[in-house]
Structure 1
Amino acid sequence: MSDPLVEVRDVTRRFGGGHTLFGNPRPQVHAVRGVSFDVMRGETLGIVGESGCGKSTIARMMVGLDVPTDGTLHVAGVGGGRLARTVQYVFQDSMAALNPRKRIGAILAVPLKRLAGLDRRQREERIGALLDAVSLDATFAERYPHELSGGQAQRVGIARALAAEPSLVVLDEPVSALDVSMQAQVINLLADLKRRFGLTYVFISHDLSVVEMVSDRVAVLYFGKVVEIGPAAAVFGRAQHPYTDLLLRSAPAPGRPLRVVDDASAELPDPYDPPEGCAFAPRCPRAANVCRSEDPRLVPRGGKADQLSACHFPLAAEL
């Protein structure tokens, strides 16, 4: 994990904009606002945040399904249309991501033919190996998606992502639709595949317990910006940003009563009109005037060089 596989620099993504036929400006949604981070080779970078924070938009840009409005996103070794070979996507809704009219074997054959250029015999052999890699019997190649359980469909989605022999796999909420026992099986499968094939993961989820379990580093997003990033043990053990602390205290835990840890009267930022200062200031108990006028930069705080936060008054500043 010494060199970056992915470099994201000042990436923004806005939707809408332009003008109407009468010259009136159309509103713009600011989905991602100046995001910068690296994904190191061989690591699992977890990305967390509440709904609408920009997690899936970043994922789509990383795999080429969307493009930044501004900024750069560079994947090492990618050129001449090789992005699809280097980066693959595992979708949240595994069943919807599979063509219901095609058998599993035909679905897996598409990337093997178009990206790997294998002939028919090679494709058949490779399909069997892919199904075996995700702990599915070879007979699954003859089944249709509607004949699979949710866990089996997700395994097929993972097998399809592996077909192109990628370096990076972006997993967008890969276990959120599964029951707890199946989540554990898929997580263990992903860990095994990472070791066997030398993969790098970007693991996107709102489930903090899952992210803590699988991630080497964690990036916390709020309103389209990274507000904290660092080693998983440091972020979960000693959060620096008040929003990270809010997420951790909001997560249900066995034996702990559910409680409201956020001010219900606090207003969420308007995605059409981002505030000048810190977007979390209306919800933050530590906010001061500077927070409402000056957007904090993402920098190391409290002597922790590998843990960065974007907060004028970080929680762990005394460390």
Structure 2
Amino acid sequence: MTDAGTGRVLVVTAREQAAEGIVALGLRDPAGADLPAWTPGAHIDLVLGDGLVRQYSLCGDPADRTAWRIAVQRARAGRGGSAFVHDGLHPGAMVVSRGPRNHFPLLPSPRYLFIAGGIGITPLLPMIAAVDAAGADWELAYGGRTATAMAFAATLRAAHGDRVALWPRDERGRLDVDGLLSDRRPDVLVYCCGPAPLLEAVEARCADRPAGTLHVERFTPRDAGEAEQAEPFDVELAASGLTLTVPPEKSILEVVEEAGVHVLTSCREGTCGTCETTVLAGTVDHRDSLLTPGERAAHDTMFVCVSRATGSKLVLDL
């Protein structure tokens, strides 16, 4: 059941305790209709009430169009989204979703190294299933606070044995990123999802690897530093016929919304990809946490919640 203005209404049909502080939910269309297709690495938005919109990775089977599965960790210092899921979403509850979208796609390769930290295991689960079914060579290093807080760990180890290395921090310390990434063949694709310190360590260790071999997904935005220019710039909205001025203290998204032009948005931090917009002319000061260096260099797309112009004008397909 879909409402073009608010998204797709789903019903919670299953709930289980996946680990300490983590619940897994099954979501279906109330009328039994097929859900949109998705690929490993995709996520959906959940609209959780009181203006809360949160992104959760799909961690079920892409071949099953009847149901989606997500897993949500209760954040000890969160902003209310995970508490809403844990306390309010039980079987029979209705929730609005948007998506799916995929800014963390699984690319073909003969070999993979997956590195997960905590709830970062979720987007990697369908990836592992896909590469295992394809006969690729792969390994998973999975770290967490404690063994009891690591969702799906026992199932992964039982299914795949020594391909899965579990690193409960209270037993083994932090993941040995240097050891994991030393002497890796250049055709090994590295997929990593987890907290910022893990991503930063993996990115530093992979700095000398061939471009395109490291793929990461972030829960929080990276530090983009200072904007390239502190001057106002214009945005021409080609579809709306408006030209607007963006001052230094406002985002493109804020200015466009103030002009009454609707842009689908969610995180407003440059991490979810919801507000991706086609750039028709101009160069972009990319400040998101999603695009690769090659995608940034093309200057043909941007995330208007955080990115800006490097020159005096951008022309956008809005």
TM-score by length of 2: 0.30
Higher share in strand = 2
Higher relative contact order (CA 8 A, sep 6+): 1
